[in-house]
Amino acid sequence: MSRLIVTGGNRLKGEIAVEGSKNAVLPVLAAAILNGGESVIKNCPRLRDVEVMIEILKTIGCKAKMEGDVITINSSVVSETLIPVDLAAEMRSSIIFMGPMLARCGKVTISYPGGWHRTV
Q: pLDDT by residue (tens digit) across 22-40?
A: 889 999 999 999 999 999 9
Q: What CA–CA distances, in Å, run from 105 to 33, 84, 119?
A: 10, 16, 12
105 alpha-carbon distance from chain centroid: 18
Count how many Cα atoms sit within 13 Å of the Cα of residue 54 in the half-sphere of its side chain: 22
The full set of domain ranges for the chain reads 22-119
| Pairing, β 70-74 against β 38-41 | antiparallel
* pLDDT for the residue numbered 92: 84
pLDDT for 64-100, tens place per residue? Answer: 999 999 999 999 999 999 999 889 888 888 899 999 9
pLDDT(42) > 90: yes
Fold for the domain defined by 22-119: UDP-n-acetylglucosamine1-carboxyvinyl-transferase; Chain (3.65.10)
Is the full-model pTM beyond 0.95? no
